[in-house]
Amino acid sequence: MWDSNGRLPLILFGNLSTKTGDSPYEINAATDLAAGKGYYSAGVGASTRKYIDPVVLFASVSANYGFKESGLNQRRGSRIIEEFEPGISGGFAFGFAYSFNYDVSMTMSYQQSFNTGAEFNYNTGESYSAADQTSSTFAISLGVRVSPETIVNGTVGLGLTEDAPDVSLGLSFPLDILGFGKKIS
């Protein structure tokens, strides 16, 4: 639906992400397994949608910046990583959802993401720039209402680039946690 000025509604969002788990840049790479990403990041994005009953069109775009990690001391071969610059990542998506009736709907979407500008700096004065990555996926989802309050969605995603998974399968449904769910009368 258009807003009162004749424009599509725009939803802006942002995120801040902290270091999580065991940093891949602060472990013994030969014997330990990282369980986190190891750097802070911040991101922004926007999304919009348009209702054309029984279809909903949607689109979004986002970007994230990873902050440099310094003071590292991780051995990689004969060199030691001292700094890591994560670079920029982002992506976009668009698609549509079609409602066959009150109980069944189908969604088709295209998603593309990228990572660029990652760089490692070593104690030898050398630096290594990681290859840029692009991943794109085409997904089809079928939603079926199994009760008045519950819709189950099954999804099949097909990777379209070398950096994307060949196939992904998903199953999603709402989960009500006691005390957080909406009361239905």
Task: Show me where the domains of the chain are located.
Answer: 10-172
pLDDT at position 185: 54
Which residue's structure tokens are 């999804």?
155
CA pair distance 111, 8, nearest whole angstrom:
21
- Give Dmax over CA atoms of the chain in angstroms: 68
pLDDT value for 1: 46
* pLDDT score at 11: 95
pLDDT computed for residue 3 by the predictor: 56
pLDDT of residue 155: 97
By the 10 Å C-beta count (0-12 exposed, 13-18 middle, 19+ buried), 164 is classed as buried
147 beta partners: 150
Distances (CA, A) of 124 to 71, 72, 78: 14, 14, 10
Residue pair 14/54 in contact (Cβ under 8 Å)? The answer is: no
Global model pTM greater than 0.85 = no
60 contact partners, CB below 8 Å, separation of at least 6: 45, 46, 47, 48, 92, 93, 94
- How confident is the chain (185 residues) per 10-residue block, as mean pLDDT? 68 94 82 87 97 94 96 87 94 97 96 95 93 96 92 96 95 75 58
Sign of the torsion angle spanned by Cα atoms 62, 65, 43, 73: positive
Question: What is the torsional sign of CA 31, 32, 37, 38?
Answer: negative
Q: What amino acid occupies position 48? A: T
